[in-house]
Amino acid sequence: MGCNKNCGLLTGTIIGAALAILGGILIPVGNNLIEDTVEKEAVIEKGTTAYENWVVPGSPIYRQFWLFDVQNPEEVMMNGSNPILKQKGPYTYRMRYKPKENITEHDDATLSYHLENIVLFQPELSNGLESDNITTVNFAVVTAPVLYPSLSQILNMLIQRSKSKLLQTRTVKEILWGYTDPFLELISFPNIDKVVGIFHPYNETFDGPYRINSGKDDIKKVGIIQSYKNNRTVEYWKSYCALVNGTDAASFHPFLNKSEVLRFFSSDICRSFSATFDREKTVKGIPLYHFVIPPSTFASPVNNPDNICFCTESEISQNCTLNGILDLGPCKEGRPVYITLPHFLHASSKLFQFVDGLKPDEEEHKTFLDVEPTTGFTLHYAKRLQINMLVRQNSKITVLQNIKHHFIFPVLWMNETAIISDEKAELFRSKVTDKIKLLNISQIVLISLGSVMFLGFLIAVCACKKTSPK
């Protein structure tokens, strides 16, 4: 009987040890299995999940616009008073819902393509109509004197003849996508587009060509832009600021670490960005890494020396000391366009002195990327930027004479956003998240159960030996 009891206890000890060992073996084996599967599906080539969601985004992408409406236009134009701004919106458009064009696979594990620019108004997702009127700055009036400073007297005559003013009232559709300007119609200069709009021309134009790495030769390079418009740099900035870095932000390489800096390029504002890990979060049952663009992105070179090559002039930037602002003139043909975060978030107090009504909010106005770390897919993001015009006093232009001090005039802010759909989230959970969870649970259960059995039976065997008759 003693032998049978001891043998049973010994068998239990061995089984416990075996279960613990099996749980330990599952860790590298299971991880390798997951890694092989993910890397195969993350390569951008025909037949993979990544390719399917790359040709046409798997989740709808929207661009929301909030336009700033001037509440006191007469005081601004007559007395040079601060414009009191009230945001209206959002006015929501669906974008990038058509496949990429001219996709070509190359022998060096890269793909090239063009991206069609197209938007479709979504009234059900908007707080207003495209026909809503907005009072804002007159784009042509503040731009022409900057582009043609030596022709101020002629420009002033044409501005007066067209009855143009510093401020104008236009529909949302006109401000965003373009209108024929009466002042510009009178100008006979060659190659002057008489249509003006923040995003004119946009619809049915093409961005690119882009050339990206497919990840076939190195999964760490997947999605990284190798060239934009056949160049590794853009012409608008000097030194490293001109480099086209990272991906398009739709995805990154699999198996991300929290310590990594995510880099991506935005052709909208002609530069690359970086995002750093902020925290973990869960979206639709999927654990994600929340990356954000840090305040240093638009900081002055005084606070972030790396930004020195983004500072292209000294007067408006106050010798490159203003925070939170980017002069976009170099990539907008010299137009006085400036980019900030919405409501001047993280900007110098100087920018708030000449406009009223702005209320920056970190959560509402920051740019973020929620990335699933195993696959590297961005499942939720919000790219938020504000477009502003520089308004300057000009003694030779009648409608600009009452301006007391040059200032940055907010026109609108936008939020380009997408989130994985409920259907796609359920599919993702079943194919990726749930399998990883099941593997992890199996590992923990086997190791825990095996360890408990091993220790329990081992203690019992030792106790049995002490009580056995000699």
pLDDT digits (tens, 9 = 90+) for 32-75: 556 777 788 889 999 998 899 899 988 899 999 999 999 999 99
Do the beta carbons of residue 252 and residue 37 sit within 8 Å? no
Is 80 exceeded by the pLDDT of residue 15? Answer: no
Is 90 exceeded by the pLDDT of residue 163? Answer: yes
Spell out the alpha helix ranges (H) of 132-222. Answer: 139-147, 152-161, 172-177, 182-185
* Closest listed residue to residue 184, CA positions, set 406, 335, 410, 392: 335
Residues 6+ apart with CB under 8 A from 305: none
Q: Which residue has the higher pLDDT, 303 or 12?
A: 303
Is 80 exceeded by the pLDDT of residue 161? Answer: yes
CA dist., res. 59 & res. 283, Å (int)? 14
CA dist., res. 34 & res. 359, Å (int)? 46
Is 90 exceeded by the pLDDT of residue 283? Answer: yes
Mean pLDDT value of segment 9-16: 47
pLDDT at 267: 95
Reported confidence tier of residue 431, pLDDT bands at 50, 70, 90: confident
pLDDT in tens, 436-470: 554 454 444 444 444 444 444 445 545 555 555 55
CA dist., res. 313 & res. 331, Å (int)? 14
Helix (H, G, I), strand (E, B) or coil at 366: coil
Mean pLDDT value of segment 141-168: 96
Q: What percent of the chain has pLDDT over 90?
A: 76
CA dist., res. 97 & res. 116, Å (int)? 9
pLDDT at 439: 45
Do the beta carbons of residue 229 and residue 349 sit within 8 Å? no
Alpha carbon of residue 123 to chain centroid: 24
Residue ranges of E strands in 160-204? 167-171, 179-180, 195-196
Mean pLDDT value of segment 100-126: 96
Residue-averaged pLDDT of the chain: 88
pLDDT at 454: 43
pLDDT at 19: 41
pLDDT in tens, 355-393: 999 999 999 999 999 999 999 999 999 999 999 999 999
Amino acid identity, residue 468? S
pLDDT at 39: 80
Peptide bond into 90 cis (omega under 30): yes
Mean pLDDT value of segment 216-245: 96
Peptide bond into 209 cis (omega under 30): yes
Which residues are bridge partners to 118 per DSSP?
none
Mean pLDDT value of segment 130-150: 97
Reported confidence tier of residue 270, pLDDT bands at 50, 70, 90: very high
Is 60 exceeded by the pLDDT of residue 166? Answer: yes
- Per DSSP, the chain holds a count of helices (H) and strands (E) of 10, 19
Q: Which residue has the higher pLDDT, 439 or 200?
A: 200
Q: First and final CA of the chain: distance in angstroms?
A: 15
pLDDT at 281: 96
